[in-house]
Amino acid sequence: MRRRMIFIGPVALVGMLLFIAIGGVVVQRLWNWLLPSLFGWQQLTFWQAVGMLGLCRILFGGLGLHSSGHSRFRRHMAARYGRMTPEERERFRQRVRERFGFGPSPGASQGS
């Protein structure tokens, strides 16, 4: 077990560095290919692209701390939904549709 851990550490470090390097090159190439010609923005260097990649990860991907909360919420809701009767499920679906604007309009007649 200890031998495996000694092997995994350097491989993981190399993998992370490789991911950062490839991601930085991809971001740099895409930015420099599209944005200067479309919007007249300046080109990025490799290190600016790596910084942009990190910034986007923080702003849009989070820091990886929220994933367990979302899966716990999904498990909780799946358990609640599983305990509902078919009538309760239909009422739940209808309330969700109405709340998010997919139900019938307020002026529409219900019976026709």
pLDDT at 102 over 80: no
Question: What's the Cα-to-Cα distance from 78 to each of 69, 81, 93, 100, rounded to whole Å?
Answer: 14, 5, 14, 20
Give pLDDT tens digits for 7-60.
Answer: 888 889 999 999 999 999 999 999 999 999 999 999 999 999 999 999 998 888
Q: What is the token pair recorded at 15?
A: 């993998």
Local confidence band at 67 (pLDDT 50, 70, 90 cut-offs): low
Residue 108 vs residues 53, 64, 89, 99, 102: alpha-carbon distances, Å: 49, 45, 23, 16, 13
Residue 66, pLDDT score: 54
Report the distance separating Cα 104 and Cα 12, nearest Å: 53
Q: What is the tens place of the pLDDT at every residue in 70-93?
A: 678 888 888 998 999 999 999 998
